């Protein structure tokens, strides 16, 4: 019997690498030597071969499954999809929309990510975020329908004689990092030295709006009562006969002040349904106000305040508001017809 004695020198790894370089051995063969013979780990092999660790782990996985990584299992991507394959891809996406990424579909079907992306877009698919809108239970829907019917009674009298109030926050340095420009010269963004965050409170009606309250910090009960005392005369001016109503959401500062509003300020308060920003017309106004302010690109607190006040005045023009409240009337009718489900838009 012949006996073969293998002498392994101390500098074994170095000798393997030198030999591979000398005879121009490809990286996959080098990997097999380092993994199977030298029994190195993925990170060490990746460093030696100058390959991504993810690639080396993939090679290890295939090797452990008994595959020869030197053999290219792919025979090339087919150039054209037939109707049967297209239907198969669409069915996979419908069955598992969360799990079927373009990368995974490409691995399963053998088609390029670009081809699959074009197919999905042609079929009307868009790569969008998940729907995180509120889902109402039966009781909540009933409350929303009751609220809308109450507001719609008497040809919508309450809609046209109510102040809708709310708060929003605006952060000055929350700016985009990119803009459209012509290379190679790059535009320099205006330096926003101040880290400013302001809160705003306002109330709007079909007859007009209060002035905009701008403040720093959060809204608590004491400050909220001060805000109401400052702006109540403006509401009374818009409704000289005093026949107006007040609507607010369920912020804790609001709830704690309900008795104070009714008993001490003699304000007629309308109970607001929980989790129903889609029924509050002022929410759309905040979106428009933020957009206008971003167009102004304020660089400090004074400029931010000026922009907020100026654009609030423009957006709360009485003629514009009256049109918005007419749309709100239709919106409440839609909510009733949809049995209290969340409204789109």
The answer to the question of residue 261 being in a domain is yes
Alpha helices in 239-267 (DSSP H): 252-255, 258-259
The answer to the question of residue 328 being in a domain is yes
* 31 and 93 share one domain: no
* 314 and 200 share one domain: yes
Q: With 0.85 as the threshold, say if the pTM is over it.
A: no
* 224 and 165 share one domain: yes
The answer to the question of residue 38 being in a domain is yes
Residue 62: count other Cβ atoms within 10 Å of its Cβ: 14
Domain hosting residue 103, numbered range = 83-122
The answer to the question of residue 147 being in a domain is yes
* 58 and 158 share one domain: no
* 98 and 168 share one domain: no
pLDDT tens, residue by residue, 32-72: 888 888 888 888 888 888 889 888 888 888 888 777 887 76
* 153 and 269 share one domain: yes
* 269 and 326 share one domain: yes
* 209 and 267 share one domain: yes
CA dist 73 and 328 (Å) reads 61
285: confidence class by pLDDT, cuts 50, 70, 90: very high
Give the per-residue pLDDT at 247: 96
8 A C-beta contact, residue 241 and residue 216: no
The answer to the question of residue 72 being in a domain is no
The answer to the question of residue 342 being in a domain is no
8 A C-beta contact, residue 200 and residue 285: no
* 16 and 148 share one domain: no
Mean pLDDT score across all residues of the chain: 85
CA dist 151 and 162 (Å) reads 9
């Amino acid at each position: 019997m012949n006996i073969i004695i293998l002498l392994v020198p101390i500098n074994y790894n170095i000798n393997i690498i030198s030999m591979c370089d000398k005879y121009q051995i490809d990286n996959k063969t080098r990997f097999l030597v380092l993994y199977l013979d030298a029994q190195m780990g993925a990170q060490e092999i990746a460093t030696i071969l100058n390959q991504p660790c993810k690639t080396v782990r993939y090679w290890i996985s295939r090797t452990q499954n008994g595959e020869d990584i030197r053999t290219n299992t792919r025979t090339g991507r087919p150039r054209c999809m037939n109707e049967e394959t297209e239907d198969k891809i669409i069915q996979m996406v419908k069955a598992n929309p969360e799990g079927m990424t373009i990368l995974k579909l490409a691995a399963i079907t053998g088609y390029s990510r670009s081809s699959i992306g074009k197919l999905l877009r042609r079929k009307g698919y868009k790569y969008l975020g998940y729907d995180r809108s509120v889902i109402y239970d039966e009781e909540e829907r009933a409350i929303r329908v009751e609220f809308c019917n109450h507001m719609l009674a008497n040809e919508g009298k309450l809609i046209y004689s109510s102040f809708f109030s709310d708060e929003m926050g605006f952060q000055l340095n929350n700016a985009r990092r990119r803009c459209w420009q012509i290379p190679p010269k790059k535009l320099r963004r205006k330096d926003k030295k101040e880290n400013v965050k302001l809160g705003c409170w306002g109330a709007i009606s079909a007859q007009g709006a209060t002035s905009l309250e701008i403040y720093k910090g959060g809204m608590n009960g004491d400050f909220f009562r001060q805000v109401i005392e400052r702006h109540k005369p403006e509401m009374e001016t818009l409704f000289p006969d005093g026949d107006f109503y007040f609507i607010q959401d369920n912020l804790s500062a609001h709830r704690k002040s309900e008795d104070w509003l009714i008993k001490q300020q003699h304000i007629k308060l309308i109970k607001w349904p929980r989790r129903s920003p889609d029924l509050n017309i002022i929410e759309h106004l905040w979106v428009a106000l933020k957009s206008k302010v971003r167009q102004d690109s304020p660089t400090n607190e004074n400029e931010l305040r000026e922009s907020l006040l100026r654009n609030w005045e423009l957006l709360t023009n009485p003629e514009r508001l009256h049109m918005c409240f007419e749309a709100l009337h239709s919106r409440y009718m839609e909510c009733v017809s949809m049995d209290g489900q969340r409204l789109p838009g």
